[in-house]
């Protein structure tokens, strides 16, 4: 694993390199595709003042069915979200975890196949220069390795930046976000980026993803 000085991603509710239990995909064997999804403006309604509690969490219309459609098309789902309120001391990772627990519940209430396989976040402030914070690709790097290790029933041995050699092909994977930093992270990781309207979220670009 790369040194801590890189300011690595955090994993919601668990240690970064802990084993991950994956829900089976609806249509059989995984062929390596991952949909890396930003959170605010993609899955839920965003706010300039952050999503600070479960009471402020509003899932965008059609998102549960869109997540399920990606899984039905063979994609694993990896949420990658900048969450600087933690680094700024506004609230804690425990609060963020409560929001994500509620998010998972709301998605599954509407569609039982709308599983989020993995949620990664960057708790760092913009001025920290963290490898984990988009537009840097640290969260996407971690997501690929954690999911791949779990599919092969092994414990992930995470590497980042130039320490990670012999990377897998990402040509069938996608990154969805509503901001320039998301598209930059996609470019820096070498994956196709789809920018959505933050008032619509994932459903705005679903047809483009599935039609490619």
182 in active site: no
- Count of helix runs (H) and strand runs (E) in the chain: 6, 6
Q: Known catalytic residue: 38?
A: yes
Separation of CA 124 from chain center:
16
Q: Whole-angstrom Cα distance, residue 84 to residue 29?
A: 36
- Say which of 17, 31, 38, 178 is annotated catalytic: 38
Compute the distance between CA of residue 193 and CA of residue 137 in angstroms, rounded to an integer: 13
Q: CB of 34 within 8 A of CB of 173? A: yes
- Token duo for residue 140: 């996407």
Q: Which of 17, 31, 40, 199 is catalytic?
A: 40
User: Which positions are catalytic?
Assistant: 38, 40
């Amino acid at each position: 694993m790369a040194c801590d000085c890189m300011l690595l991603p955090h994993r919601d509710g668990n240690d970064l390199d802990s084993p991950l239990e994956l829900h089976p995909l609806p249509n059989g064997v995984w062929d390596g595709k991952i949909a890396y999804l930003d959170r605010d403006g993609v899955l839920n309604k965003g706010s300039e003042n952050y999503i600070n509690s479960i009471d402020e969490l509003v899932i965008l219309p059609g998102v549960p069915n869109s997540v399920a459609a990606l899984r039905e098309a063979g994609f694993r789902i990896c949420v990658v979200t900048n969450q600087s309120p933690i680094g700024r001391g506004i609230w804690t990772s425990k609060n963020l975890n409560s929001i994500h627990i509620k998010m998972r519940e709301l998605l599954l209430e509407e569609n039982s196949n709308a599983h989020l396989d993995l949620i990664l976040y960057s708790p760092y402030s913009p001025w920290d220069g963290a490898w984990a914070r988009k537009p840097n690709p640290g969260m996407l790097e971690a997501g690929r390795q954690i999911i791949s290790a779990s599919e092969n029933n092994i414990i992930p041995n995470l590497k980042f930046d130039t320490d990670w050699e012999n990377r897998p092909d990402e040509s069938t994977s996608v990154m969805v976000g509503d901001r320039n930093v998301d598209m930059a992270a996609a470019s820096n990781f070498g994956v196709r980026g789809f920018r959505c309207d933050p008032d619509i979220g994932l459903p705005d670009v679903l047809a483009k993803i599935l039609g490619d």
